[in-house]
Structure 1
Amino acid sequence: MTRGNHLVLGMVLGPPAALLILGLCMAVWRWLKLRRRPVVDSEEVLLGAVSQSLQERGRLAASLGELRTVHERLLDALPFGILWVDQRQNLAAVNAAARDLLGVKAGVVGLEAAFVLEAFPWLLEGLERAPGPPYRCEGGGRRWQLRRIEAPHIVGALLQFEDITALEAEERRLQLRDRFAELGEMTAGVAHQLKNGLAVLKGHGQLLDRAGHRDAAQAVLGETDSLERLVQRFLQWAKPLEPQCVDLRLEEVASQAAQEVHRRPAFFDRILTVEGAGRALADPMLLHQALVNLLENACHATPPGKRVQVSVRDRLVEIQDDGPGLSPEALSRMLRPFESGRPDGTGLGLPLALKWLNAQGADLSFFPRPGGGTRVVVRL
C-alpha cells in the first residue's frame, strides 16, 4: 500500500477506531472502580451507578461528537473526491469535494450506494475494480481520474476521484504548442529558400513581358503569385506567437471576420449570419484570423444557396454549416499541416486556426450535425 493510500485510509478509519478504543477503556475503568467500592446499601449503589453512568455517557457523547467533527473536517479538506461504501453497500462517507463534483447533499450518507450513484455509472464501475494505480475514463461529458484505494475487506470500498477535463485540455494545448514549434522551425527554412527562388522567377517573368512575350510572361507571373501566397502561408505558420489577450465583445470580432469572408470567392451565393453576444479574454488579431479561416472553410463545405450560421455566447463561438460533414478520419487529416480536402487548398487553413486559438488558451472542437453538416465550437 502506498503512502497516499495509508494517509487516506488513516483519515477515513482512524477516528472510528479511536472511538471504539475510547469506549472500551471507559467501560473497563468503570468496572474496576465498582469492584473497589465497599459494600453499601444496594439502592444507593444502584442510584450512584446510574448517575455516574449518565454523566460518563454525556462526556463520551461529547467526545464522540468532537471526533466525528474532526473526522469530517479532515475528509472535507482533501482536494479530491472520496467515496466510502461500507459492507452493506451503503454510503458511509462522501467528502465536500465529492459532493461538489456530483452535485449531491450531505444527507446521502447512509443511503444505498447504487441508488445515489445511479447517474454516475463510471463511479460504480470504479468501486467494483480491484485496488490499483489511478486510471482515466469519460463520464457525463467530462474526463475523470479514479483510483480504488486498498483497504481491509471489513471496511468496504474506498474510491478517490477528480475531474481532470481542464487538465487534459491544457496537456493537449502544450503538446500542440511543442509540435507547432518544431514544424515552424522546419517550415521557416523551406519558405525562405522558396521566397528567394520566386523572386528570381518573378524578375524573369517581368523581363519576358518587357521583351514582348506577354502570354508567357503572364503564365510565369501568375504561377509565381500563387506560389508567393503559399510561401506567405508557410511563413504565417512558422511565425512565433505572443498573444495579447484583452476583454473582447465576441460578436464584434465574429462580425468583422464574416465581413472579410463576404469579400472572398468562397462566400459566393452562400448565406452567412452572426447572432448572439458574449465576452471573452482573447487576442483580437489572432481570434479574427482564426475565425476567418474557420468561416472560409465552412463556406467551402456548404453548397451554394445554403447557410453558414455563427452563434456567440460568453467565452464561446459556434459555427454551423450545411455541408456534407466530416468523418473522423477526414478531420484528423485536415488538422495536420499541408493536408487539404480541396485540390486548390494549401492544407494550412484549419491547422493555422488551431495554432492561433491554441496560443491564446482556446479549444477548438468539431462535431457532426444530426441533419448533416459540421458544428465547430471555439471555447475561450
Structure 2
Amino acid sequence: MKLECPVSLTHPPLSWLILGLPLVFVLVGLVVSFRRWRGMKRHPAQDPESLLLGAVSQSLQERGRLAASLGELRTVHERLLDALPFGILWVDLKGQVAAINAEGRAILGVKAGVVGLDAAFVLEPFPWILEGLAQPPGPAWRADGGGRRWQLRRIQVPDIVGSLLQFEDITEREAGERRQQLRERFAELGEMTAGVAHQLKNGLAVLKGHGQLLDRAGHHDTAQDLLEEVQSLERLAQRFLLWAKPLEPRIAPVRLEEIASQAAMEVHRRPAFQDRTLTVEGEGRADADPMLLHQALVNLVENACQATPPGRRVRVQVVPGQIAILDEGPGFDPGDLARMLRPFESGRPEGTGLGLPLALKWLNATGADLVFSLRPEGGTRVDVRL
C-alpha cells in the first residue's frame, strides 16, 4: 500500500517562510532608510548656532507684534482722554507729570512736553491744582484761582498709580447758573409786582379825580398837595410796571462809547448830576441790546452821581466788551451788596429801591454780568461785562 501526504494549498511551506522573512526585514529596512534620507533632504540638519538665531528671531517677531498691539492700545487710550470735555492730570509717585489730556493742556495753557517734568515746577502758576492733588479722593468741590472758578475732583486709583485729578473751568457755567436763577426770581417778583401796580393805579385814578374836584371847588392848596402826591405815586407805579414787564432782548453789535455817551447826556438833565463832573472815556464794541443797555447805564450812572459828593467826579470808562463806572463816594459794605440789588430796598429815603435791581434785570436778560467792587483810592467801581 502506498501512503501519500496531502499538501496544503493555503499555507506556504516552512522553507518559504524561512527564506521570506529575511527578505521582508531587508525590504522594510530599505523603506525606512529611504524615508529618513528623504526627510534629511527636506529638512537639513542645523547647527546649534542656527537654531539659536532662529529662536531669537522668532522671539523678536513676537515682541514686535506685542509692541504694535500695545502702541495701538496706547493710541486709543490717548484719544479717549483727549475726547473728554474736562482736564485730566496724572502725577506719578515720583511727583512727575505722567499724563495730561488735550483739554487739560488747553485750560492750563501748557504744552505736551510737560509730561515727564516735575509737577511742582509745571503747576507752580496753578496753586489750586496743586492743592487739589493733595486732597483725598471723593466728591467734586469748587475753588477760586487765577480770577476764575474751578471744579476739581480727586479720582480714586491704586496707590501705585499716583494721583489722578479731574479739573474744569466753570466760570461761565456758574455765571450762567446765576443768571438763570435771577431770571426765575425776577419772573416771580414781576408777577407779584404787576398785580400790586395795577391795583395802585386804580386807587390813584380815584384820588386824582377827587383832587381835581377839590381844585374846581376852590380848595387849590389842598388839591395841589394831593395831586403832587398822586403824581409821585404814579411814577412809582410806573416803575413797578417797568419792573414787571417781560423782556425780549434784541442782541446786535453796538459801539459802547455811543451808548455810554447817550446815557451820560440823559443823566446830565437829572437832579443827581448837579455840581458834579461826568466824563466818558475810551471806546469799544460788543454784542448787546442797545435799549436795555442804555436804560441800565442811565440807572447805574445816576446811582453813581447820587453816591458822589458835590464837586467830585464820576467817570465812565469803555473798553471792548466792558463798561466801568467809577464814583468817588463812600463805597459800600460788601455785606450789604445783596440788599442793594434786592428790589424795593433803597438806601435813600427818597429812593424806590428799583434803580440797581432794574439795571441788573436788564443786563441779566441780555447775558451780561454786573460786578461791584471797592476802589483802593475810595469809591465804588461797577463793571458791566458784556
Q: Which digits, 9 at most, give the CA deviation of each residue in 1:210-248, with x for residues without a partner?
A: 222222122111111111111111111111111111221
Q: Which amino acid aligns with 2:256?
A: L
Deviation at 1:44, TM superposition (A): 3.2
Q: Partners of 1:265 and 1:77 in 2: how far apart? A: 58
Counterpart of 1:269 in structure 2 is 275
Counterpart of 2:130 in structure 1 is 124
Q: Which digits, 9 at most, give the CA deviation of each residue in 1:61-105, with x for residues without a partner?
A: 544443333322221111110001111111110000000000111
Counterpart of 1:304 in structure 2 is 310
Counterpart of 2:139 in structure 1 is 133
Structure 1 residues 335 and 46 mapped into 2: Cα distance closer, same or farther (>3 Å)? same
Work out which of the residue numbers 354, 369, 385 in structure 2 matches 1:379: 385
Q: Partners of 1:182 and 1:55 in 2: how far apart? A: 73
State the TM-score, normalized to the length of structure 1.
Answer: 0.86
Counterpart of 1:78 in structure 2 is 84
Helix, strand or coil for the counterpart of 1:155?
coil
Matched, 1:223 2:219: no
Work out which of the residue numbers 183, 192, 215 in structure 1 matches 2:189: 183
Counterpart of 1:260 in structure 2 is 266
Q: Partners of 1:288 and 1:38 in 2: how far apart? A: 98
Q: Partners of 2:178 and 2:141 in 1: how far apart? A: 18
Q: Partners of 1:234 and 1:169 in 2: how far apart? A: 27
Counterpart of 2:24 in structure 1 is none
Q: Partners of 2:314 and 2:183 in 1: how far apart? A: 30
Matched, 1:341 2:347: yes
Q: Which amino acid aligns with 1:340?
A: S
Helix, strand or coil for the counterpart of 2:113?
helix
State the TM-score, normalized to the length of structure 2.
Answer: 0.85
Work out which of the residue numbers 291, 294, 313 in structure 1 matches 2:319: 313
Q: Which amino acid aligns with 2:157?
A: A
Helix, strand or coil for the counterpart of 1:234?
helix
Q: How many residues align?
A: 344
Q: Partners of 2:233 and 2:356 in 1: how far apart? A: 19
Q: Partners of 2:79 and 2:187 in 1: how far apart? A: 46
Helix, strand or coil for the counterpart of 1:132?
coil
Counterpart of 1:365 in structure 2 is 371
Counterpart of 1:10 in structure 2 is none
Helix, strand or coil for the counterpart of 2:300?
helix
Helix, strand or coil for the counterpart of 1:153?
coil
Deviation at 1:340, TM superposition (A): 0.7
Counterpart of 2:288 in structure 1 is 282
Q: Which amino acid aligns with 2:75?
A: T
Deviation at 1:137, TM superposition (A): 1.4
Q: Partners of 2:287 and 2:326 in 1: how far apart? A: 23
Worse-superposed segment, 171-180 or 70-79: 70-79
Q: Which digits, 9 at most, give the CA deviation of each residue in 1:317-371, with x for residues without a partner?
A: 1111111111112222110111111111010000000011111111111011001
Q: Partners of 1:39 and 1:192 in 2: how far apart? A: 111
Q: Which amino acid aligns with 1:181?
A: A
Q: Partners of 2:81 and 2:343 in 1: how far apart? A: 48
Worse-superposed segment, 370-379 or 130-139: 130-139
Task: Give runs of aligned pairs for residues 70-219 of structure 1, distance below 5 A.
Answer: 70-219=76-225
Q: Which digits, 9 at most, give the CA deviation of each residue in 1:114-141, with x for residues without a partner?
A: 2211221211121122211222111111
Structure possessing the higher radius of gyration over alpha carbons: 2
Deviation at 1:284, TM superposition (A): 1.3
Q: Partners of 2:252 and 2:97 in 1: how far apart? A: 47
Q: Partners of 1:39 and 1:341 in 2: how far apart? A: 106
Q: What are the ranges of 5 or more consecutive residues in structure 2 without an aligned counterpart?
A: 1-42
Deviation at 1:41, TM superposition (A): 3.0
Q: Which amino acid aligns with 1:278?
A: G
Helix, strand or coil for the counterpart of 1:133?
coil
Deviation at 1:48, TM superposition (A): 4.2
Q: Which digits, 9 at most, give the CA deviation of each residue in 1:182-217, with x for residues without a partner?
A: 111111111111111111111222222222222212
Q: Partners of 2:46 and 2:308 in 1: how far apart? A: 102
Q: Which digits, 9 at most, give the CA deviation of each residue in 1:274-331, with x for residues without a partner?
A: 1222222211111111100000000001111211111112221111111111111222
Matched, 1:249 2:275: no
Helix, strand or coil for the counterpart of 1:154?
coil
Root-mean-square deviation (Å): 1.9
Q: Partners of 2:80 and 2:44 in 1: how far apart? A: 46
Question: What percent identity do the matched residue pairs reach?
Answer: 77
Helix, strand or coil for the counterpart of 1:69?
helix
Q: Which amino acid aligns with 1:155?
A: V
